[in-house]
Amino acid sequence: MSIKVEYIWIDGTEPTARLRSKTKILPAGGDAELPIWGFDGSSTGQAPGRASDCVLRPVFTAPDPIRGGPHLLALCEVLDTDLTPHRTNTRAACLEVAERFSDHEPLFGIEQEYTFFKDGRPLGFPAGGFPAPQGFYYCGVGADEVFGRDVVEAHLDACLTAGLQISGINAEVMPGQWEFQVGPLGPIEVSDQLWLARWLLYRVAEDFGISATLAPKPVKGDWNGAGAHTNFSTRQMRSDYSAIVDACEALGAKAAEHIAHYGAGIEERLTGSHETAAFTTFSYGVSDRGASVRIPWQVEVAKKGYIEDRRPNANMDPYQVTRLVTDTVCSALG
């Protein structure tokens, strides 16, 4: 029997990269290591037509929950034809930082928010108008409060079947808006799994005739944006509260650099309203969802634990975010 392997990669679309994929047929019982493969980079914003070849190298594989059986999903990094990292390959830099600070044992849990759209409007929004204001949709129940649960449950099952470390799901503040959480995992592992979970989200929703978007402000006005709150700790932070404070101070010292890599359109979401701090300021506080970085109340009580960076957009590149947070905090903690 032949095996279908879905090669999945991150393209060169700017300012926010997209996922692409294509299927390779391999003989059953072949080499355990998947082969490299090529693609037309001129069609993905990654090469000019006169030198269009780019290379895919599988870096993370999982059972394919869509096709089942022996079939696989293969997340790939993009290389140039000399097999060095392509300019759009942000994984390579993340891997270097993760390896350099591995003795700090950094762990991440990422909360991926997203919004379902159908017929050009968020799922649950009536044609030509707006639903009731925000208030009852967050973690709601009932057909008048929750929209798209069948897609969400199918996506959750697909992620679990693929062996991804999904730690939870919930309905979010705006109709048609949901969240899933990945982790706790190391910088590379959480980023690989988040990208694969995103691909599965798009693919599962496709079967329902629904699209999912990571737009940071999918509806203008008095509606919450969509973020990717990033929970982080090191071995030292998990045992020493002073390291928690030092981590927050370190993030504040490099706030502008982080904001520049936390997702396109961040100024539309980080306004100081709708449970955000303004993108032009930096703050941290205990149990404060209006701060840039939140220290959970139980962390202050236990005097150890983790922090939540609330600034990253839903459309952020997790390789960029985990690289920056790891580098900034671990460099400061020494």
Question: What's the confidence (pLDDT) of residue 31?
Answer: 67
The whole-chain average pLDDT of the chain stands at: 96
Which one-letter DSSP state was computed for residue 218? Answer: S
pLDDT mean over 121-150: 90
More confident residue, 273 or 171: 171
Q: Is the pLDDT of residue 127 over 90?
A: no
62-108 pLDDT per residue, tens: 999 999 999 999 999 999 999 999 999 999 999 999 999 999 999 99
Q: Are strands 166-171 and 177-185 parallel, antiparallel or unpaired?
A: antiparallel
Task: Reduce the DSSP state of residue 122 to 3 states and report it.
Answer: strand
- Four-residue CA torsion sign, 152, 157, 162, 164: positive
Q: Render the burial of 181-220: b for 16+ CB within 10 Å, e for the rest.
A: bbbbbbbbbbbbbbbbbbbbbbbbbeeeebebbbbbbbbe
Q: Is the pLDDT of residue 47 over 80?
A: yes
Question: What's the confidence (pLDDT) of residue 66?
Answer: 97
218-227 pLDDT per residue, tens: 999 888 899 9
pLDDT mean over 186-199: 98
